[in-house]
Amino acid sequence: MSDFLKIEGLKAQIDADGTPKEILKGLDLTIPKGEVHAIMGPNGSGKSTLSYVLAGREDYEVTGGSAHFKGQDLLELEPEERAALGVFLAFQSPVELPGVNNANFLRTAVNAVRKARGEEELDAVSFLKLAREETSRLSMSGEMLKRAVNVGFSGGEKKRNEVLQMRLLKPSLAILDETDSGLDIDALRIVADGVNSLRGPDFSSLVITHHQRLLDYIVPDRVHVMAHGRIIHSGGPEVASLLEKQGYKQFLEAAA
Amino acid sequence: MSENNAAAWQALTGRAGERAALLGTEGLPTRRVEAWHYTPLQSLNGVAWQAAPALDEAAVKQRVDALNLPAHDGLLVFANGRFCKSLSHLPACMDVQEYGDGAAVPALLAGRFSAGLNAALRQPGARLHVPAKTDAGLIVMISLTEGEGVSTHLHHSITLEEDARLSLLDIQLGEGQYLTNPQMDVHCADRAHFSHITHQAESREAARLGIISARIGERSNYDSFTLNQGGGVARQEVVSQLSGPFSNTNVNAIQLVDGNRLNDLSSMIHHASPDCTSRQTVRTVLSENGQGVFQGKILVDQIAQKTDGYQMNQALLLSEKAQMNSKPELEIYADDVKCSHGATVGALDEDQLFYLRSRGVLEEQARDMLVQAFLLETVELVEHESLRDYLLKALPGHV
């Protein structure tokens, strides 16, 4: 089965002050196993909504279509079941969790996922060893494990913390929602290395971004252009540089 | 029906005999009494509360042994309002003084129903005295109540002389539909330090009307923390008076209210001297049909210049039927003071919940983590490490 993630005719809406607002308007997207795809699109095209719907956020109502992952109906699953299945969303704006220790949070998450996948849970000592290896790989200070999750973290530190979680949870589908926003070039490289290190035959990724810059470091197999809640164009990595040079106009006009 | 015809009133005034006047004539407080508006006591009216009979000491010992207590320097056990001498011990530096028959309501507690009830039906409790320049360590006090339709009214008196120190873990628990009405009068002389943890874990059917008065001398500190998590209707009332300059009091609390229970933290922090500080953080977690009450008054006398007061009460509603009533009050007569206060009531943050779940954490565990996080900062206000650990273990879903 080469179709790892298969989205067909997906429609979703959000409640905007009492009136439903349709954001995804019949989206089709297929990502085969082992491939990295990028989605680019103007603001308001529905990119973040797509990532939230795939991760299982409840404030979006799916009104049509389907999304299957590893042959399972993704939309039927709770967010934690999707995580166990291998879906990971790196948030555009990771929330702060005051009072929740980062190391405890990471260990709880890792063990919840391991348990659900039928793997042995990690004890505190072996978890800490693993977490220390991963933080140094991401050039993160070990102090960040002792702090409350994302509290007082800089933008770059929050994104690194997302990549740390991704590395620890070993997803088979990583969705990166504008993970490059607010990163300087060094942080961008570290984040990209984190993703590239997971690339392999059993790892797929959906990289949502505004800029070609990230795609210089995470070279995608395919690039999709999204507008008005749909994929309006798909092509190879060259699409990204085309967009960077010429903007969305030609694709929007062609789709109209 | 008039409140003073109720079975409860007849029984309580009958038992009080000539001290019945201390109870007043109005019956148990109803919603019409301002101080009891959110915590009316009508549900107590139908029971003819009797004196609690003595409990079998071997059974009491079993209950005490089953508790997971922190390492301590002294232990005081009360069962159904009686001191269990054979189960208790105190450090050599402390003594338990003979109990006098003083039945007056202390001036600090004048007009407060719980204190009047205690004075009318008072039973001798701990009467601890920590000599000057002495650190008495950590004392654990356990008050166990068992029975149906019975009531206890222990009166404790704690005195710390100059430069004395004491930590007290005051655990209150039991089984059955009973009424407890403990009172503690605290006196801290100059430069004394008293850390007082009340762990209110009474039976879910019980009623509890507890009250504390504290008079705090110069450069002295009364650090009070209440974990309010038991009782059907349970009030903890703390009246803390900063009566010497440069003194401090903390009146912190966590309330955990579930089922159809009601927990209440009512306090009065009285700045009666200049240059004093007070800190109050009260966090309440409510689930099911739980009702929470916070009434916190800070009174600053005209003389109490340079007062530094802080009050924060926050509630987390985990169900739509749960209810929180908060009444913060500032009454300030001095002009050079710093008093800040705030209150929030809200549900768990959906974004935080989704973040945890998207990382594979099961919904129930994610909720527990966020509730614990909400409470953790408050527990961390307790200085004593083993008491912090004790409290953390008492919280729901602890790791």
Q: HSE on the CB side for B371, CA within 13 Å?
A: 24
CA-nearest residue to B369 within chain A is: A100
CA-nearest residue to B375 within chain A is: A99
Element (DSSP H or E) covering residue B160: strand B154-160
Q: Is the Cβ of B350 closer than 8 Å to some Cβ of chain A?
A: yes
CB B150 within 8 A of CB B52: yes
Name the percent of chain B lying above pLDDT 90. Answer: 91
Give domain limits for chain B.
52-348
Query: Model confidence over A55-81: pLDDT tens digits?
Result: 999 999 999 999 999 999 999 999 999
Query: Model confidence over B88-136: pLDDT tens digits?
Result: 999 887 776 665 556 789 999 999 999 999 999 999 999 999 999 999 9
Q: Is the Cβ of B370 closer than 8 Å to some Cβ of chain A?
A: yes
d(CA B374, CA B368): 10
Contact partners, residue B2, CB within 8 Å, separation at least 6: B27
pLDDT confidence of residue A210:
85
d(CA B326, CA B237): 14
**Cα three-residue angle A32-A33-A37, rounded to 5 degrees:** 55
Q: Is the Cβ of B285 closer than 8 Å to some Cβ of chain A?
A: no
Write out chain A residues lying below 8 Å of B372, CB-based: 99
Q: What is the ipTM of this complex?
A: 0.96
Three-state secondary-structure class, residue B15: helix
d(CA A166, CA A196): 12
CA neighbor of A29 nearest in space, from A249, A253, A177, A229: A229
Query: Model confidence over B296-317: pLDDT tens digits?
Result: 999 999 999 999 999 999 999 9
Which pair of structure tokens corresponds to residue B43? 């549900």
Burial of A67 (0-12, 13-18, 19+ CB in 10 A): buried
Predicted model pTM: 0.88
Write out chain B residues lying below 8 Å of A60, CB-based: none
CA neighbor of B286 nearest in space, from B353, B364, B229, B247: B229
Q: Does the distance separating the beta carbons of B399 and A104 come in below 8 Å?
A: yes
Query: What's phi and psi for B381, nearest 5 deg?
Result: -70, -15
Q: Does the distance separating the beta carbons of A78 and B377 come in below 8 Å?
A: no
Residue given tokens 């009216």 in the structure block: B45
d(CA B191, CA B162): 6
CA-nearest residue to B376 within chain A is: A99
Q: DSSP label at B20? A: G
Query: Which of A95, A99, A116 faces B355 most closely, judged by CB atoms?
Result: A95
Examine the pLDDT at B260 and tell me if it is beyond 50.
yes
Q: Does the distance separating the beta carbons of B356 and A97 come in below 8 Å?
A: yes
Query: Which of B351, B354, B365 faces A79 most closely, judged by CB atoms?
Result: B354
CA-nearest residue to A148 within chain B is: B373
Examine the pLDDT at B399 and tell me if it is beyond 50.
no
Would you put residue A205 in left (φ > 0), alpha (ψ -120 to 50) or beta?
Answer: beta
pLDDT confidence of residue B397:
65
pLDDT confidence of residue B100:
57
Q: Is the Cβ of A219 closer than 8 Å to some Cβ of chain B?
A: no
Which pair of structure tokens corresponds to residue A99? 């009072």
CA distances from A246 to A45, A140, A183, A216, B214 (A): 18, 37, 24, 17, 75
CB B349 within 8 A of CB A70: no
CB B231 within 8 A of CB B260: no
Q: Does the distance separating the beta carbons of B355 and A100 come in below 8 Å?
A: no
Query: Which of A78, A97, A116 faces B352 most closely, judged by CB atoms?
Result: A97
Interface test with B, best of A77, A97, A119 (most B CBs within 10 A): A97
Query: Model confidence over A6-16: pLDDT tens digits?
Result: 999 999 999 98
| A184/chain B closest Cα distance in angstroms | 25
CA-nearest residue to A96 within chain B is: B352
Helix axes of A155-169 and A102-116: crossing angle, nearest 10 degrees: 30
Contact partners, residue A120, CB within 8 Å, separation at least 6: A114
Q: Is the Cβ of B254 closer than 8 Å to some Cβ of chain A?
A: no
CA neighbor of B293 nearest in space, from B263, B329, B267: B263
d(CA B44, CA B62): 30
d(CA B210, CA A209): 60
Q: Is the Cβ of A3 closer than 8 Å to some Cβ of chain B?
A: no
> With bands split at pLDDT 50, 70 and 90, how would you rate the model's confidence at A136?
very high
Burial of B121 (0-12, 13-18, 19+ CB in 10 A): buried
pLDDT confidence of residue A212:
87
Query: What's phi and psi for B96, nearest 5 deg?
Result: -100, 110
CB B208 within 8 A of CB B173: no
pLDDT confidence of residue B25:
87
Q: Does the distance separating the beta carbons of B358 and A99 come in below 8 Å?
A: no
Q: Does the distance separating the beta carbons of B350 and A78 come in below 8 Å?
A: no
What pairs with residue B153 in β-bridges?
A: none
CA distances from A248 to A28, A49, A96, A256 (A): 19, 19, 34, 12
Query: What's phi and psi for B42, nearest 5 deg?
Result: -55, -35
Q: Does the distance separating the beta carbons of A99 and B372 come in below 8 Å?
A: yes
pLDDT confidence of residue A226:
96
Three-state SS for chain A is: CCEEEEEEEEEEEEEECCEEEEEEEEEEEEEECCCEEEEECCCCCCHHHHHHHHHCCCCEEEEEEEEEECCEEHHHCCHHHHHHHCEEEECCCCCCEEEEEHHHHHHHHHHHHHHHCCCCCCCHHHHHHHHHHHHHHCCCCCHHHHCEECCCCCHHHHHHHHHHHHHHHCCCEEEEECCCCCCCHHHHHHHHHHHHCCCECCEEEEEEECCHHHHHHCCCCEEEEEECCEEEEEECCHHHHHHHHHCCHHHHHHHC
Helices assigned H by DSSP within chain B? 7-16, 57-65, 113-121, 350-358, 363-379, 385-394
Write out chain B residues lying below 8 Å of A59, CB-based: 350
Mean pLDDT of A29-33: 96
Q: Is the Cβ of B103 closer than 8 Å to some Cβ of chain A?
A: no
Q: Does the distance separating the beta carbons of A58 and B350 come in below 8 Å?
A: yes
CA neighbor of B283 nearest in space, from B121, B149, B395: B395
Write out chain B residues lying below 8 Å of A94, CB-based: 355
pLDDT confidence of residue B93:
79
Mean pLDDT of A182-194: 87
Examine the pLDDT at B157 and tell me if it is beyond 70.
yes
> With bands split at pLDDT 50, 70 and 90, how would you rate the model's confidence at B2?
low
Task: Tell me, rounded to whole angstroms, the distance of Cα B363 from its chain centroid.
Answer: 33
Q: Does the distance separating the beta carbons of A112 and B373 come in below 8 Å?
A: no
> With bands split at pLDDT 50, 70 and 90, how would you rate the model's confidence at B82?
very high
> With bands split at pLDDT 50, 70 and 90, how would you rate the model's confidence at A2?
low
Q: Does the distance separating the beta carbons of A98 and B373 come in below 8 Å?
A: yes
| B382/chain A closest Cα distance in angstroms | 16
pLDDT confidence of residue B1:
46
Write out chain A residues lying below 8 Å of B399, CB-based: 104
Query: What's phi and psi for B329, nearest 5 deg?
Result: -140, 130
Three-state secondary-structure class, residue B152: strand
CA-nearest residue to A57 within chain B is: B354
Chain A, window 9-48: residues with a beta carbon less than 8 angstroms from a chain B beta carbon: none
User: A3-98+173-255: CATH homologous superfamily?
Assistant: P-loop containing nucleotide triphosphate hydrolases (3.40.50.300)
- B338-346 β-sheet, strand order: B82-83, B74-79, B135-146, B165-175, B193-201, B221-228, B248-257, B277-286, B308-317, B338-346
Q: Does the distance separating the beta carbons of B354 and A58 come in below 8 Å?
A: yes
Write out chain A residues lying below 8 Å of B359, CB-based: 83, 105, 109, 112-113, 165, 169
| A234/chain B closest Cα distance in angstroms | 28
Q: Which residue has the higher pLDDT, B387 or B397?
A: B387
Residue given tokens 């990532």 in the structure block: A51
